[in-house]
Amino acid sequence: MPKTTAEKIADKDEQIRQILNEKKQLIQKQKQDEKKARNHRLCKRHATLESMMPELITITDEQYKTFLEKAVCNDYGRDKLTQIIAQGANTNTSNPTQTATPSNAALSAKADGGATVEG
């Protein structure tokens, strides 16, 4: 028996609902994957820092923040980071399969904000 126009519309509405639900699930999965990647990166970088300076294990979070502000978040630290990024950019131009690095402006903005310290 052929479907009526109303039934066809209802079928399409159901398909739209299902597709929108699938999109919502994919967005949630993407956010979870990004959060996992960020957590992994932060843990890995902090572990590297602690392995180089084991004394950091014994200090408080406030002392750690102060240490980073004085040791890294200054003109010298920003200059060194800019040099490292520039070296990476030179490497990326010779190897186009590598991913791009964040811009210096974005890194400066993060460093100036003080809320997030990423190396």
Q: What ranges do the domains of the chain cover?
A: 1-58, 60-119
- pLDDT digit string, tens, across residues 33-70: 999 999 999 999 999 999 999 999 999 999 999 999 99
pTM of the model: 0.59
Overall average pLDDT of the 85-108 stretch: 60
- pLDDT at residue number 68: 92
Q: Is the pLDDT of residue 78 over 70?
A: yes
DSSP letter string, the chain: -PPPHHHHHHHHHHHHHHHHHHHHHHHHHHHHHHHHHHHHHHHHHHHHHHHH-GGGGGS-HHHHHHHHHHHTSSHHHHHHHHHHHHHHHHHHHH-TTSPPPPPHHHHHHHHHH-S----
